[in-house]
Each structure stands twice: as structure tokens, then as C-alpha cells.
Structure 1
């Protein structure tokens, strides 16, 4: 569960970076291509960071559900 939580936090940060909620001064992008540029959008709003965030959210929900079900 700690690894899934860390992945969820990183995916959330990357999604916020893509959406422009992180100011330019706080972006870790260096020289070259920006890590905040949107490269692929499906249906106008689905990006790769959003898919990653959703996947980690599902993983965490399933882990919490399994922990509660099998708790002695």
C-alpha cells in the first residue's frame, strides 16, 4: 500500500502539472522540452497523467477494500 500511495501522489502531482495548477517557478522542467506540455489528449480531457492517477486510485481502493475484508 505505501508504494501505491507514493505512485498516487506522484501521478497527482504530474496531473496538476499538466493542468497548469503548478506555477512556472515551481515546475521541475529544465532545458529542452517542457514536462508540462500536453502531448496526447483523448476526448479532449483524458491525458496520460490522468489515466495514471485513475489507475493508482483504483489500486488503492482495491487494497483498502481487501484489507478491510480480510482483517482478523
Structure 2
């Protein structure tokens, strides 16, 4: 029986999460017609490149991508958390009002009373962070 390489599997699953998040984002804006707010754009700016970086790293088995992906995912996670709190916590939206366009506190979807688009992004970034933590650092050549 072949031994499973947890680092390679983690890279692959993190890549799948980023692709699903990217395609979901495009579905909401291009097919459903939801106009992204400012915070949605920041989350997209951080998620879209992860699809490319993790895809290349997966097929090259490049574990060193962790040092690039993890900071981007943590920043995206923070923005998603802030965005979700802005939608769900009364008074939180007053911290940074939107200048124009769609307000960041708007909820296009609200499934089961708590699943919104920023929540989905938050889950995606969380999964990517968790899978990056499963990747063992590559051994340095001596």
C-alpha cells in the first residue's frame, strides 16, 4: 500500500478550495448579477491569485509556496471576518462607511440566518490556512 503524502494532499485540497471560492465569487457577480462591495473586492484580490499559486504548487509539489500563500490567506481571512462582523453585528458597520456603490453591510444571500458571501469567503480562507499548516517545510539542501 502506498503511503499518502499529507503535504501533497494538503496542497491539492487547498488548491481545490481556492478554485471553488474563485468560481463561486464569479458565479455571484457574473451570473447572479451581485455587485461586489469594496471589501468583497479586497477578498477577491487575495483569493484569485491563490488559485493560480496553489495550482502551480500542487502540480510541481512545491511546498515552499506556503510562505507566500499563508500571509495572503491570513489577510483575506481577517478582511472576511471584519466584513462578516460588519454585516451581522449591529453598530459595527459605522466603523468604516462605504463611500459609494454597494454598502459592505448589504447581504445578497442569508442562508440559515448566518451564511452570507463574506462567511463563505471566511470559511474558504480558514480552510486554506488549515491546509497550509499541514504542509511540512521542505528540507533544505546542505
TM-score (norm 1): 0.78
How many residue pairs get aligned? The number is 69
- Segment of structure 1 superposing worse, 56-65 or 28-37: 28-37
For the 8 Å contact 1:18–1:36, the answer to whether it is kept is yes
Where does residue 77 of structure 2 map in the other structure?
A: 8
Residues 13-65 of structure 1, C-alpha deviation per residue, up to 9 Å, x if partnerless?
Answer: 111111125152x1231245422021211233210000000110000000001
Aligned structure 1 segments of 4 or more residues deviating by more than 3 angstroms: none
For the 8 Å contact 2:87–2:107, the answer to whether it is kept is yes
For the 8 Å contact 2:98–2:104, the answer to whether it is kept is yes
Determine which of 27, 32, 39 is the counterpart of 2:96: 27
Say which one has the larger Rg. Answer: 2
Which structure has more helix as a fraction of its residues? 2
Q: Identify unmatched segments of 5+ residues in structure 1.
A: none
TM-score (norm 2): 0.43
When the two chains are superposed, the root-mean-square deviation of aligned CA atoms in Å is 1.9
**Aligned in 2, Cα 1:4/1:37: closer, same or farther, shift over 3 Å?**
same
Q: Identify unmatched segments of 5+ residues in structure 2.
A: 1-69
- Segment of structure 1 superposing worse, 55-64 or 43-52: 43-52
Where does residue 27 of structure 2 map in the other structure?
A: none
